[in-house]
């Protein structure tokens, strides 16, 4: 069944503290900015197209985070192209 995909949840809605940290660092040079990843505080559900804070995730009996809405496995780290570690 093909369902229309909705837009991803904005980061400001999920974690306002992280967006504040990013806006403070905007005055520095781009090369000196720390790399901030959303995955430090949240998981991503590709089926629901939502960001969930770590506290909102449900752990299955093997300890893997699952979405409380649809039950699918959550992405815990970014996928990188080009073979980067």
What digits encode the pLDDT tens for the residues 19-69?
444 444 445 554 454 567 889 999 999 999 999 999 999 999 999 999 999
Sketch the domain layout of the chain as residue ranges.
8-26+35-78
pLDDT at 38: 87
55 in Cβ contact with 61 (< 8 Å): no
Residue-level length of the chain: 85
Q: What is the CATH number of domain 8-26+35-78?
A: 3.30.40
53 in Cβ contact with 45 (< 8 Å): no
Nearest to 36 by CA among 45, 24, 48, 49: 24
HSE value, Cβ hemisphere, 13 Å, CA-based, for 78: 13
Per DSSP, the three-state class of 52 is strand
């Amino acid at each position: 069944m093909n369902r229309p995909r909705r837009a991803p949840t904005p980061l400001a809605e999920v974690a306002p503290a992280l967006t504040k940290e990013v806006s403070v660092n905007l005055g520095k040079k781009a090369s000196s900015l720390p790399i901030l990843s959303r995955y430090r505080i949240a998981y991503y559900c590709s089926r629901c197209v939502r960001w969930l804070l770590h506290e909102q995730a449900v752990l299955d009996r093997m300890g893997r985070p699952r979405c409380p809405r649809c039950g699918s496995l959550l992405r815990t780290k970014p996928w990188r192209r080009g073979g980067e570690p």
